[in-house]
Every structure is written in structure tokens, then in C-alpha cells.
Structure 1
Amino acid sequence: MSLELHAPDAFPAFPYSPPYGTQIDLMRHLYESIEQKKVTIVESPTGTGKTLTLLCASLTWLADEHNRARKGKMVALGARPDDEEDWVAKQAREQLVRELDDQEQRYRERLAAARRREEELKRKLNARVVKRPRTTISQSASQTEENEDEFLPEDDVQDPEDNLSPAVKALMAKLARGSRGEEEEELTCTKIYYASRTHSQLTQLVPELQRLKFDVKVTDFEPSPPHKLGKRPALALEADSTPPQFTRTVALGSRKQLCINDSLRARSTDLDEACRTLLEEKGDKRCQFLPSLDEEDKMLEFRDAILAAPKDIEDLAKAGRMHEVCPYFGSRRAIKQAELVTLPYNLLLQPSAREALGIDLTDQIVIVDEAHNLISTLLSLLTHRLSLGILSLSFTQVCIYVTKFRNRLSHANMLQLKRLVTFLDALKKAVTAWKETAKTNKEKTQILTVIDLLALLGPKAAAINLLEVVKYLKSSKVARKIANYSDKQAEKNAIADRKGSNDVHKARRSNRGAIPPLHRVEEFLTSLTAINEDGRVCLTLVGEDEVEVKYQLLNPAPGFMDVVESARSVVLAGGTMSPITDVISQLFSGIPRERISTFSCGHIIPSSNLLGMVVTKGPSGQDLHFKADRQNNKAIIIDLGQTIANIVNIAPSGFIVFFPSYQFLNTAKEIWKGSGHLERFGKKKPVFFEPTESTSVDSVMAEYAASVRAGKGALLFAVIGAKLSEGLNFADDLARCVAVVGLPFPNLGSPELQERMKYVKRLDEKMNGTKRPGQKDAAAELFENMCMNAVNQSIGRAIRHKDDWAALILLDKRYAGGAIRGKLPGWIAKEVTVASTFGQAVQGLGAFFRARREK
């Protein structure tokens, strides 16, 4: 019997009937990709129901996979649906069906009970005033009993249970967990890990999930009539007694989103470090929201409450306060039993984060939404900075620590700490020497390979096995131990200097929870263990005396290959993933091509709702060509102002103009003030400019929207890649016309970009050979793709749903070239026309807007 799954023709769980054809095609593609264990790249424009289709297709496969697993167990027993002769096999099959159904029914009832308990808790909390739990005030340094064991590395602290056998320890752990019975054994299942860039994007997932119509699934192996020996039939669930079916979902987040210890939040500069420090405390000093081992039932009840009904990150934090249990650790306990796990990029992409959370991606489904950000995120997550000041402080702290505890540290600890001291000393001397040379030569930046940097440190430091040192730092947690010891010594010194108790208290509060300097060193050293060609070290002189040492990752692929190789299937989805070839070349060049599939949705709007136009000439007849060396030309900018003024005259409602940079926009603004163009714009529509400060964005957007809704229209000047070009929806009248001025190529003067372009060129030549004369090389392709990725994000802001409409105008003659136009999203590229004269452009725009008004 074949257990292979085939994509269904219909998806009953989809909440809207009938789905659009492109939605059915996308769901079938996703289902097949998951079943065939593929990596797929999906482009689905905003308004096409991307999130809903991703969830519906993947959860439909998950439900079918659950049934397939049941079938597999039947097949293992030798059972077949038409098996009418072998009554022994029938009995074995029926018994297994009953056991599986009983298990699922008990589990559903347990989650239903958790929902009822939570509802009762809500009613009680609403009926009374909730008092904040009292927090324990820590003793002053003078009152605290001296106990230097707390500063020793993890493996140097004597454990009172070390003389117990493993069997006795296991028995004690079992007794500590309580007596919840066999049904409380951790059940694991195939799951979907759904990642996006921000928590706000993930929060939008829960309402979409709740729209899906999943019913209780019944195995295809129906039990035959009961045998005459009187065995009871497999469990039949009555419709009116069946608890409601929910997808077991858990949202993962950082302590910043989930910590409910308000006292700790108020006094900590770094919440992660403060929480880790508190975890090491005992008795009344422990966090009151983290149940101890003898209160395990409380944590398990909270785990069930999390899984009982889908919760976003804010709901999870509220539930933690209601149950008075830490939602950060509670969500981690729910991962094993969850079917859908939502998490931000950093928790999925960093191996250390996955390990800390207990995430095992083996044979699981990974969906990365908003994946147009994935490459830049991978590069930034594995790029680490270390200042000379932090390096010097770390070196001093480690030296003091080794001197103090040398007689109490084991040989293994002393060996690794001595290696660390040697390496830090050599690195500090090399960076200090470079600083003096840079000041003399007036060269502020130097790029080195990892091998070049190690050569500067001398043979003794270069010979140190950094992998062993990094492994030691992680396992021993010595960075935090050294930082805590240094803080304690600082407090003692403050008291010895007879400072007021207030000053000592303030010093302790500011230090508590601060990131240990050695953690920065640890991150940097971890970077240096990567393959030499995959990254570069950049030394930069900052001011007169500070130096920043930065490890810049050049190759995003290795950081994602762990995910791809472990997972059953990986889905990269975004509204605009074009050019898709760029994603494949940067992330998946080492994967067999047959394992990669792509899907690009057409938009659900009719073609008459979109006008895409390249405008190559301005009103004066001169070319619209905004290369960097032309962006200060007064005559060119005045012609651009006249171009925009003509479009403002005919564009209804909201009109957004994107510039390549703040510098170009500010230059144009000043010239237009003198030429009178700003005043002309304002006579037609109120004019707004994207603020450089993030705190002002909301107020500017509110004023812009109010002007549009009041019928005045509005003209908004924004910058590609800044605050308004991504993440904000300009639906309906907020953006009836969007123009992009020029091409936002990245800064070629950046040493980091130059190194990355050299890297991709070398890699491409190694794999495919040298390009022929006149043929674009990989570096030029990368440079162009980075530009078009930014353009695509900006112009995708205008169309947000099936009835929306807008004109998208590209103001630069370079957009008329086939290579550039080919990198626009497919649904836009096929609608783009090229206006050879400005008169032709105005005529086409006027006809489009008139047609929309008539409708």
C-alpha cells in the first residue's frame, strides 16, 4: 500500500469559498513541495492572501501526515482495509485504533480543561484587584555573606549530589516531577516552524490561523464491526461532546517581550543577563515566576494553557501574568507538543538560540515569511563588532580573575584561561599598534582576512585553537562569572572609598544585568572560527583613540545550510522575492537543482487596476537619468521638480515619491525651495517629508492619512530602504500613485560592499569559470540585484487588496532596459510600458486616472 501523499484539488480548511485560482495553485505547490522534501521560493504579492495560503497548505499537509502516520502503524501490523479473512489482524488493528483514538481524545480533553481553567482565572481576575507580587530586596554588599564559589566556572563548583549514582539522580528527578501519570509523558510531533522578521508580523498570524476551518480528523482505517468476543469498538466521538479543535500553537519570543518580573525589568540594563544571573540564585532570591522542581505541575498546567488555544506574543505575556508563571520558559516547555511554532528570524537562524530553546529541525517544516530580508538578516546576525575599549577591559578582568582564583581553578580551566589571556593580549597589542599607524598614515579603515589578522598576532597566539577556547567559554559560563566578580570588587572598592550607600546601590543597579564584556569577545572569537574566505575583518579608526574591530560575513549560505539540511522542507515566501535567481545563487548554490522549486503568483487585481510606466524624459525633453554624479545638478533637479509638478496635477488622492537617499532628497528640497516648485506642489496637495527620526514617523503618517481622507490629497516624499518603504500599508487612496526617482544602488565606496562583491565574483569564477568580455559578472549582478530588491519593496506598498488600484511610475531611463525591467516582480513587469516622451507619459497617466474615476 502506497503512503505517498498527493496534493488535493480542494482545500476545505480555506475560509473563503471559492479561493482564487492563484491561491489554489499556490497551496497545491506548497503541499507538493513539503511532501517531496523540497526547498521552494514563493512570491505572493500583498493582497493575495499569502499568510492564509501558507498556513492552510502546510497545516493541511500536517493533518494528512498525522493520518499517514496512523496508517503506517496499521501497515506495520499487516492490516489492509479489505482484510476480511484474518480476524487476528483485524483485532490487532481495532485495538490499535482504539488506543490511538483514546490517546487523542484524552489529550483534547486535557487541553479543553486547560481552556476552562483559564476562562475561570480570567473571571476571577476581572472580579478583583490584582496586587503585584512582592519582590525581595537584595542585601547590600556589606551584608552579603562572602561566597566565592559562585564565581568559579561551572565545572569547578562542587555539587553535593556528585556522589550519587546516575540511577539515583534519575529517580530523584522523576519524583520531583510529581505523579502526573503516563499520559503526561512528553509527546512529540511533526511541526511547522513559521518565522518572520518581527513580532508585529507574527502577531498577524493568529487571526489568520483562527479563520481556518480544520475539523477533527478521523483515520482512513475504520474499524470493522466488533468481534463476537465482545471487545468494545474504537472510540466514536459524539459531535456535541467533542472539544473544539485548535492547532496547537506556541509563540516564541525574547525575554524583552515575555519577562513578567517588573522589578527585574526596571533595574536591568540587559534583561537576558539579569535573568540568567537570577536563575543561579536560590531560595527567596529566585525569580518568583519560575516554578521550582517541586512545583513542576504548575509549569505543566501553564504549558497546557499555552497549547489549548492559539496565542500571540502579547496574549502569552498576559497569560503568564494571569497564571503567575514565566511565559518565556513556559513557551519553551510547549515546543515539543506544538504543531505550529512561531518565532522571529534570530531564534530560527542562530544555532545557539535553537540549542538553548531545544529546537530540533530534523524532518520539520520551516516557513520563512518576509524572506526578502533573509540574506541581509543572515549577514547581520553573524557580523560582530568589538571595540578596543571592550577588548582592553576584558583582558584586564580576565587577568585579575586568573590571579585571584589560580589556586582554586582546575588544570583544564587554567589551561583555557591562559590561552584566552595570551590571545587577548596579542590582539590588544596588534590593534593598538594598528591605531598608531592609522593615525600617522591617516587611513581610517583596513580590511583583512582572518588569516592576515592572526598573522599580526604572532605565532604563539595564532597557534591557539579558538574552537576549543570558544567551546570552553560557552560551557563554563566563565564570562558571566568574571563579570560578576568584577562587579563585586567594584562595590567593595566603592565602600572602601566611603561612598554613600546610595552611590553603591546605584552602581550595583547599573551593573546588574549588563552584558559581560567577555561576551563581546566570545562572539568575535566565534566569528574567527569560520572559513577564512567567508568573512573579512575590518579595522576602523573611530575618533582619536577608539578602534572598532568588526568581523563582516560575506557568505550568507553556511548560516542557513544547517536549517536546509536538517529540515524536511523549507519555504521562503515574500510579497516580492524578485529577482529569485539572486536568492538561489546566494543561498542555495550548493543544493541539487532538482530539490529547488519556485512559484510566482500573479496578482488578484484585474490588469486594468494597475498602470506601470517607465518615464525616460522630462518636460524639457532631456533624459531622466539620476546617476550619483548628476544628483547635485541644479538644472536636472529643477526638471525633476517640473516632472513631479505635472504628475501632481493629475494624480488623485495620495501620491508618494521615493528617492534613492536622504542626501538626494534634501538636495532636491533645497533647490525646489528656491525655484518655487515646493510652493507649486503645496497649492495642489499638502506636502510631507519622511522624517529622519523614527519617533516622528507615526505623527507624519497620521497627518498624511488625515489629509488624504479629508479629500485634500497629499504628496509624500520618502526614501527607499528607510522607514516608509517597508512594513507600512499604503492601501486605497493613501497611494493612488507611486513614483521612484532613479535607481538606489548601494554605496560602492563602502569597503564592506567592495569585499562582498569581490567574494561573489571569486566564488562564481571558481564554480562557473571566467565570464566572457562584455558579459556581466557575479559582482555586477549582486550590485544590481541589491538595488532592485529595494525598488521592489517600495513599489509593492501601493496594491494591498483585490479592489485596489494605482499607477507605478519609474522616473529614470535606465528602467527601460530589459535587464532592469526583468528584475521587477512578474505581476508588475508584464504591465510596464515605456513612454518615449513626457507628453506620452502624461497622456497615459491621464487616461488611466480618468478610467478609474469613471468606474
Structure 2
Amino acid sequence: MRFMLDGLEVFFPYDFIYKEQYSYMQELKKALDAKGDCLLEMPTGTGKTVTLLSFITSYQLAHPETGKLIYCTRTVPEMTKAVEELKRVVAYRHEELRKDAVASGSDDTAAEATAAAADLLGICLSSRRNMCVHPRVMSNESDRERVDAQCRSMTAQWVRSRAEADPSVRLCEFFENYDRLGTDADLRGIYTLDDLKAAGQEHGWCPYFLARHAISFANVVVYNYQYMLDPKIANLVSRELEDKSIVVFDEAHNIDNVCIEALSVTLDRGTLEGAARNLGRLAAEVKRLKSTNAIPGNIRNAELFVRFMRHVVRFLKDRIKVAHVDSETPASFLHRMGTTLSVDPKPLRFAYSRLNSLLRTLEVTEVDEFAPISLVADFATLLATYPKGFMVVLEPFNSRTPHIPDPIMQLACLDASLAVRPVFQKFQSVILTSGTLSPLDMYPKILNFHPVVRASFEMSLTRPCILPLVVSRGRDQTPLSTKFETRDDQNVMRNYGDLVVQMASTVPDGMVVFFPSYSYMETIITAWHEWGVLERVEAHKLLFIETKDIVATTLSLGSFRRACDSGRGAVFFSIARGKVAEGIDFDRHYGRAVVLVGVPFQYTLSHVLRARLAFMRDHYHIREQDFLTFDALRNSAQCVGRVIRSKRDYGVMVFGDMRYARQDKRTKLPLWVQQAMRPAHLALTPELAASVTARFLREMAQPEDAEAAVGTSLLRLEHVKSLEAARLADEATAEKGVAVGGGAAGSAADAIREALAGGFAAEGDRAKPGSSDPEHAAAAATAEAMAAVSYPPRGAAGATGLGATQQSVSAPGAFSGLGGFLDADDEDDEDDAEWMHVLPAAASSAAGTAGVAAVSAGASAADVAAGEDVEDDPGVLSDEEALAAQAEAEAEGLEASSRKRPAPEGGRGLSAPKRAKAAADP
């Protein structure tokens, strides 16, 4: 579909668009118009990727001065998915512009339009291991270091110079062909990693270096977080990107941890011993070159550098010998080093760059063999560069071998903003987005930035496809929790086992169980094995378990999927902070239920975590408990979100801990999870949870009415046009000085909204009594408004001002004042009320706060304008009554909706005479 959104023409490659996608685009436009950063939380499975790509590429087309779109993902599969969606977007845009050119009848116009669409270049970049096509190099595909080393041994400049004098030196023919012809290639189109490899084999070019070269002139670049956040990699790849670029961090819920890992270094005795050996090799090589009088001028001081680094390594080997945990600041550590060695520690700041320069000059291709000294140089550079935001932590035991003395020294980054700060400072707009960013106010604090827009969106649904349940007690009324004091309680572990058995016997196909840690999973599985719980589970489904061995876990996942495909069903035991929780989807029949055992808090006895908590408390005024709760619940949301990957999917989310029933915990979950939680489902036992689950699954097994979603969850082109027409009519009314909503019942915008109230409802044959031809009314009103206010030409800048975008926007919706857009049927008022509270409706309306509250309760704009007391209308339940009726109905096994009293004819809380009176006499 092709439509106008706030004055911008958007090319969206599908015939329908979700409500939340439309709202998401509106918030994106505010941020891009303001040239600022934004934080957007969009429900899982609602098309976030295609929404981002469609809107931003359309924005680039309309605003040629805008720089690149740099799309950062966490994994290669996510990268591939993004590029495939980009292909679909660009192909649709190309076809639409071609049709325009044909319709215009001008060959010049046709050529110009085709070129505008076809010139877009999209490139993705990954490591050599994922892009190399050389047969000899790819024989070591699984070993990244070996692949990099072999590539350098055939492409390094000194190797190529040597080959000119010695034809026996082996070079990479793919790199040579690229260097000769590929740098001048006219690249167009969108390329996945596989596309680049295919093009490389076809033309004989190196895909890796071709992509590195193409980044400088590509319109869209897709790559891993590390290329933007890790300073060692970013300086090589992303340094030359223009400042006007738009940077997107997709799945950004863990971006603070990525930043911290990029700037943290851990050393142990083995690493320091390896570094000492590396320095011995370097010293010998420098001595050999000096003896031949062939030493280059740029390393005449190489001996001094090697000697200095030897002193540093010797100091580190002495300092790491600790009998108990110790920590100190970088300044204290450097002072101790300078005093002990009688040297100035300032040169440490350049240790990493000096080492790399030395390795290049010595023509070292086996760089992976010098990894230990590279790690020490990285440690030294970070230590001397950042006087604040770091802590040196020394521990006598390694976490992998806690009973064997193996001291470690960790330079721990405590301030996540240090890695991402250059990104915020350099680029025009930075977008952080994910399905699990709640609470939104935490990320600006821990990343130290100021978004101009922040928004969280609910999920518009025609049927409740997600069922969150809180199981807070066992069948014997034992409170369920993984708190430290109850962790070893056998009654708690037995009841958790009962919960898993009950769900396994109720849920068909696949089911996933997440535990807070490996140690707790091992403890409870051992107990379940002794008590026969695992046998009871295996009577219903096969059982698979995640381990720390990635290969074994991958094989287990494959067997799990085959068991689900065969109809046998399976349960997968996993870790809330493990690889499965972050990167594996259990969509469709692979995950009809997820059970979360406990709250996945971090290990609070970690000395690094304690140091980070103290830093955030002192510098960003974040309470320790607030951050720990935020971190645990974002991981909980990530786990339960694994089972929902689209609106047509469905699944049960079981929160197995009494702490989830607390208001202060639930409100930190994403808005789309909160909206599905019912009061009657907040304190269940395993038996009640299984009963509610069985009823839910029976309902989901019924055929879905696809047409019911049209106009409520799915919008057609005519719906979107009506929204834009209403916005334009509002702007025209405002320019004339007429107050919106206060006496403008006859305006074009109000006519559109009244028509939409009937027109959208009629989509599913749900028109109200008395609405003779709502579609005709909608069309007439839209035509009238559009005749008064025409669309701006394609490519024109957005008509909206920047005033609203200069401050944080907390309203999660964007259908301003569109009460009529919602379902106009009597049966969905409760859903409408839930949707309405996210709309920034009538922000400029004369009705004010009381008017918005009345509209949220189900009243029409005319009712509010007339000042009617809609709260006293007997046809609408209050919030308290609705909740009480719902809880009572759940207890009796009935549908809560059957308790709702019918609203009077005319809907929305007022009778038709009152509505007519309000419209006639505002």
C-alpha cells in the first residue's frame, strides 16, 4: 500500500497495515523531523522490521539530504531477515514508481522514476568466516581466527609485494580480481550475505572486501552491533560514515550489556604467560631486523615499546596473585603501577595502536597467535583512557572452576554510556527499538541520552491470542518463589514440578520452561528425578535440556522441533539468560506455552555487578533494587515473548512466582503483556492455570475470522487515507482559529470521524442500528475533506511542526482524537476503552482532560462537547464493576463478556437523542 502519513508518502509492501505499525511510523517521523533520538517499544510479532525499513527508506526518498540507514542487529539470522524485508520494500517502491511513470506518458519521467528506486543500494556486512568464498580458506570455516589468519596471509600488502618478486607466493585470486575491477563496479540493488557470496563467485570478486568498500556509498547498511559499539572495530569500519545517517539498534533491550562487554577485558594467568611469550617473539624479530640493518624507521623505538610492555606484563603477573577479592579504580591501579615500575603510565593509552602498528610492520599474518598480548594491550589502553566508569576487580577463583585457585583480573566497564556515547554524538538520529524495553525511563538513564520521542504500543487484537497467567501458590497453598530463602525448600520444588506436569498434560505440541540459572536448574532437575516428576512429564512429552555446550544444545533443539513436528510433543528446559532465551523463536506449534520458573535476577554476589550498581547509584541516581528489578523483568519479558512471533500465533505465558502478582513488578512488563493480564489470573494454582489454559486453547483452536480484523486491527488503504484526511482537516480548522472539539461538530474532520465510526464497523457486518450506508457516508466525508485540503506532492517535507517533538513524547498511540476509528459495535466497548487510553486523543481539544477521560470510558466526542455526565449512564460498566464481573465470571467458568450489559442504541454511552442534541447544540 502507498499512503500519506503526516505529509510524507510511505511505500509499504503489503495491502494491510496494523494499527500499531501506523502509530509507530508517526512516532518515527517526529524523531526524524526533530533530528533527534527515540526509544520505541513495539509488540512482538507486529512487523517492526518492515515498518522501520518502509518508513525510513521513504523518508530518505522524500528528503535526499538524509544520510544512510545503518541497521544494527545482534545475529546473522536477524541480519538476513532485515535484508529480505528491505528487498520486498524496494521492489514494491520500484513497481509503484514505474506505474507512475507509465501513467504520466513521459519516457524521461519513467527513466527518472525507475532510477530513483533502482539506485538504492543495500549491503550487509559480517565477518570473513560468513563471507569468504575461497575454497582453501573455507576449509576452516568453523574457526574464525584461522579464517582471518589465512585471509591475511593471502591479502596483506606485504604479501602482495613479496609475490611480485616471487611468483610462488600464493595470493587470493578473489581479492586480486576485486582490487583490479571490483572497486569500480556499479553496484545496485539489495544484497544479503548469500547474494554477495553468489556475486563474488560469479564475478570472481571477494565479497568481504567488496562489502567493506560499498559501505561508503550504500544507502542502507546492515551489520552487527559490534561494528558500531566496539571502538576497535568501529574505527576500522564505521569511522567514515556521514553524520546525517540514521542508526537503528533493533532488539535493543540488552544494548547496555553489549556496551559493557565491548569495553571490558578479563585476564588470567594463562593469558599473561602467553603475552610474555608473544613479547619474546617480537623482541627476537626486532633484533633480527636490526642485525640486517633493514629495520624500518617507524619501529626504531620498537625495542623500547617491547621492553615497556614486558614490565607491564610482569607487574600484572604479580598483581593478579591475590588470596581474596580486591578491587581498585583505574587511577589507583595506574598509580600503583607507576610507583612499582618507576615509569610514566601515560604511554599505556597508545599500547593497542602501537602493538598493531608493530605487527603490521613486522609483517605478521598469524595475528591470532598474538591474541594474549593484544588482550593485555587492550587492557592497558582502556585503563589509561577512561579514569572514570571502570573498576579493576581481582578474584582468586575463576567462576568456571570455583574450587581450584585460578586468579583472574577484570577491567570491568561500569558505565554503558561510554561505548554508545560516540554514536549519539555523531549521528543525526539514533533509534532504539525492541518488543521488551519497559520501563522506558530506564534506558535514557543508563545510556545517558535524551530521546525526543519515547513510546510503547499496545497490541491491537481481534481475539486474545496471548494468555498471561501468574501461578503464585501450589496446590498445598505453598507460596511459589525462587527467592534465596525458599530456593532449597522441597515443598516449593515439588509444587514447581507439579506446575510443569500440569501444563505438559494440558498443552499440545511444544512447551518451554525457563529457569533463573544453571545451578538452580541442575538442583531442581536432580530433585525431580528422585521424586519421579520427570517420569510424569515424559509420559506426556519428550524432554530436552539446554547445556553450556552450544553444539549439544543445537542438537537438542533440532530433536525438540522434530518431536513437535511428529505430533509427539516436547518440553525444552532452558535458562532465562542463556542462548535459547535470547536468540531462538518457539513460534507456532513449537511453543504453545512458556513456563517461567521464578524471577531471573542476576547473581547479586558478583563483585562486578556490585561495583556497577554502586556506580549507577552515585552517578545516575538509580537505586540498586530498581535496576535489578528492571533487568530481571526485561529478561522475563524476553523469555515469554519467544512463543509469540505474529498476531496469528497464540500461546500461554505462565509466570511462576508470587512476585509477579505485585503491582510494582507487573507494571515493569511491556504494555502489550500488561494489557492481556486479567485480575482473575494473578493468583492461580497449577490446577487452575491448567484449567484456564485448556479453555483458552479450545478457543484458539476455532477458525479465525480474518475479516473481523479489518478496520480494527488491520487497516486498508481507505482507512489510512481517512486518518490522513482527518489530520489535514484538523490542521485546516486550527489555521482558521477554530478550537478543535469545541463547537466544530460540523467541520470536515468531525464528519470524517463520524463516518469512520460507521464505516470501519461495517467492514465486518457490525454496523449499528440506524446506520443506513456508513461506507457511503465515510467516502462522502473523506471526499469533502480532501477537496478542501489536498495532499502535498510526493517528496514534500512533512507539514507538521517540530514543537511537539522537542520534548519526550510518552503517549504510546498516535491516532489523535479518533474516537470514531475504533469499533463502533456494542460488543467491543471494553476493547475500545483499552485501546483509547493509549491515544494522545484531543490533546488540543477544548474538552480537556475530562473529555479524554470520558472518551476513554466509551463516550463520543459529541458527548464530551455537550458536557454530558457519561459516568452515570446506566448502559456502561465502570472499571471497578467490569473487573469485579470479570473475576466473578472467571471463578464460575463463564465468559466475562457475557456479564456486560448492553449499551443503549447509538453506542458509546449515550442514546441517539442525546447524541443528536449534543451535536446540534454544543
Under a length normalisation based on structure 1, what TM-score does the superposition of the two structures give? 0.72
Q: Structure 1 residues 723 and 203 mapped into 2: Cα distance closer, same or farther (>3 Å)? A: same
1:201, 1:367 → 2: CA distance?
A: 13
Cα offset, 1:791, TM superposition: 0.9
Partner residue in 2 for 1:527:
382
| In 2: Cα distance, 1:585 partner to 1:42 partner | 15
Cα offset, 1:340, TM superposition: 0.5
Give the secondary-structure state (helix, strand or coil) at the position aligned to 2:441: helix
User: What amino acid maps onto 1:214 in structure 2?
Assistant: R
The structural deviation recorded for 1:693 is: 2.4
Give the equivalent residue in structure 1 for 2:432.
572
Determine if contact 1:366/1:567 at 8 Å carries over to the other structure: yes
**1:659-696 CA-partner distances (Å, limit 9, x unpaired):** 11222222222222222222222223333333442223
Would the alpha carbon gap of residues 471 and 692 (structure 1) be closer, same or farther in structure 2, given more than 3 Å must change? closer
Task: Give the letter for the 1:434 counterpart.
Answer: R
Query: How far apart, CA to CA, are the structure 1 residues paired with 2:623 and 2:550?
Result: 35
Deviation readout 1:206-254 (Å, 9 max, x if unpaired): 22112212148999xx9xxxxxxxxxx9944359997972631111222
CA distance in 2, matches of 1:651, 1:265: 44
Whether the aligned pair in 1 keeps the contact of 2:97 and 2:114 (CA below 8 Å) is no
**8 Å contact kept, 1:375–1:556:** yes
For 1:655, give the aligned amino acid: M
Structure 2 counterpart of 1:836: 683
Residues in 2 aligned to 1:211 and 1:410: alpha-carbon distance in whole angstroms: 53
After TM superposition, the structure 1 = structure 2 runs for residues 469-488 of structure 1, keeping only pairs within 5 Å, are 469-470=350-351, 473=354, 477-481=357-361, 484=364
Aligned residues: 668
Q: Which residue of structure 2 aligns with residue 500 of structure 1?
A: none
Residue in structure 1 matched with residue 60 of structure 2 by the alignment: 62
- In the TM superposition, residue 412 of structure 1 has moved relative to its aligned partner by 7.4
Q: Which amino acid aligns with 1:668?
A: I
3-state SS of the aligned residue for 1:359? Answer: coil
Q: Could you tell me the percent identity over the aligned residues?
A: 22
State the shift of 1:530 in Å: 2.9
Structure 2 residue matching 1:458: 3-state secondary structure: helix
Q: Distance in 1 between matches of 2:453 and 2:112?
A: 41
Gaps of 5+ in 1: 1-5, 70-188, 223-232, 488-510, 766-776
Q: Does 1:653 align with 2:509?
A: yes
Shift of residue 40 of structure 1? 0.9
Where 2:310 maps in the other structure, the secondary structure is helix
Q: Does 1:287 align with 2:192?
A: no
For the residues of structure 2 that align with 1:385 and 1:481, how far apart are their CA atoms? Answer: 28
| Code of the aligned partner of 1:466 | P
- Does structure 1 conserve the Cα–Cα contact (< 8 Å) formed by 2:479 and 2:492? no
Higher relative contact order (CA 8 A, sep 6+): 1
Instruction: Give the superposition deviation at 1:824.
Output: 0.8
C-alpha deviation, 1:744, in angstroms: 0.9
- Checking the alignment, whether the CA contact within 8 Å between 1:423 and 1:464 is kept in structure 2 is no
Partner residue in 2 for 1:428: 313
User: Which of 70, 74, 80 in structure 2 is aligned with 1:203?
Assistant: 80
Deviant stretches of 4+, over 6 Å:
216-219, 239-244, 543-546
- CA 1:554–1:331: 2 relative to 1, 3 Å: same
Q: Deviations over 1:576-610 (max 9, x none)?
A: 222322221111x2x4x4x4311223224445222
Q: Take 1:636 and 1:217, find their aligned partners in 2: how far apart are those partners? A: 61
Please say if 1:315 is aligned against 2:313. no
Provide the C-alpha distance between the structure 2 equivalents of 1:462 and 1:817, rounded to a whole number of angstroms.
57
Q: Label 1:812 to 1:54 Cα distance change in 2 as closer, same or farther (>3 A).
A: same
Which shifted more, 557-566 or 519-528? Answer: 519-528
Counterparts of 1:588-667 in structure 2, within 5 Å, are: 589=448, 591=449, 593=450, 595-606=451-462, 608-667=464-523
Paired amino acid for 2:53: L
Q: Do 1:48 and 1:604's aligned partners in 2 also have CA atoms closer than 8 Å?
A: no
The letter of the residue matching 1:847 is R
Is the Cα–Cα contact under 8 Å of residues 118 and 188 in structure 2 kept in the other structure? no
Give the 3 Å change call, closer, same or farther, for CA 659–65 of structure 1 in structure 2.
Answer: same
Deviation at 1:406, TM superposition (A): 5.9
8 Å contact kept, 1:704–1:714: yes
1:52 matched residue in structure 2: 50
1:721 aligns with 2:577: yes
8 Å CA contact retained: 1:657, 1:738: yes
Deviation at 1:854, TM superposition (A): 4.7
Indicate how the Cα distance of structure 1 residues 455 and 696 shifts in structure 2: closer, same or farther if over 3 A, else same. same
Within a 5 Å distance, the mapping from 1:206-605 to structure 2 comes to 206-212=83-89, 213-215=92-94, 235-237=108-110, 245=118, 247-266=120-139, 269-278=145-154, 279=156, 280-281=158-159, 282=161, 283=164, 284=167, 285=169, 287-289=171-173, 298-301=181-184, 303-304=185-186, 307-357=187-237, 359-386=240-267, 387-401=271-285, 403-404=287-288, 413-415=299-301, 417-418=303-304, 421-425=307-311, 427-436=312-321, 438=322, 442-443=323-324, 445-459=325-339, 463-466=344-347, 469-470=350-351, 473=354, 477-481=357-361, 484=364, 514-515=369-370, 517-541=372-396, 547-587=407-447, 589=448, 591=449, 593=450, 595-605=451-461
CA distance in 2, matches of 1:665, 1:10: 52
Residue 39 of structure 1, CA deviation: 0.8
Shift of residue 622 of structure 1?
A: 1.2
Whole-angstrom CA distance in 1 between matches of 2:556 and 2:278: 44
Shift of 1:810: 0.7
Match of 1:181 in 2: none
Residue matched to 2:794: none
Aligned to 1:193: 70
Amino acid at match of 2:481: H
| Code of the aligned partner of 2:38 | T
Corresponding residue SS for 1:366: strand
**Aligned letter for 1:191?**
K
Using the alignment, how far apart are the partners of 1:694 and 1:423 within structure 2? 36
Rounded Cα–Cα distance in structure 2 between residues aligned with 1:516 and 1:764? 35
Give the drift of 1:446: 2.8
**Partner SS, residue 237 of structure 1:** helix
Q: 1:261 to 1:616 in 2, by over 3 A?
A: same
Separation of aligned partners in 2, 1:334 and 1:811: 50
* 1:513 shift after superposition: 5.7
Q: Distance in 1 between matches of 2:248 and 2:97?
A: 27
Unaligned runs of at least 5 residues, structure 2: 704-922
**Distance change (3 Å), C-alpha of 1:257 and 1:642:** closer
Letter in 1 for 2:434: G
Question: Shift in Å at residue 263 of structure 1?
Answer: 3.0
Distance 1:461 1:38, change over 3 A: farther
The aligned counterpart of 1:773 is: none
Cα distance per residue 1:716-749 (max 9 Å; x no partner): 3222122321222212222222111101111112
1:27 equivalent to 2:33? Answer no
> 1:466·1:525 contact (CA, 8 Å) conserved in 2?
no
Q: SS at the partner of 2:648?
A: coil
Superposed displacement of residue 843, structure 1:
4.5
SS at structure 2 position matched to 1:205: helix
Q: Aligned in 2, Cα 1:473/1:657: closer, same or farther, shift over 3 Å?
A: same
> Does 233-242 or 813-822 show the bigger shift?
233-242
Q: What is the RMSD of the two structures over their aligned residues, measured on CA atoms?
A: 3.3
Distance 2:188 2:583 in 1: 31
From 616, 621, 626, the equivalent of 1:760 is 616
* Counterpart-to-counterpart distance in 2, 1:434 and 1:352: 26
Amino acid at match of 1:845: T
CA contact (8 A) 1:274 1:513 kept: no
Q: How does 1:51-130 map to 2 (within 5 A)?
A: 51-66=49-64
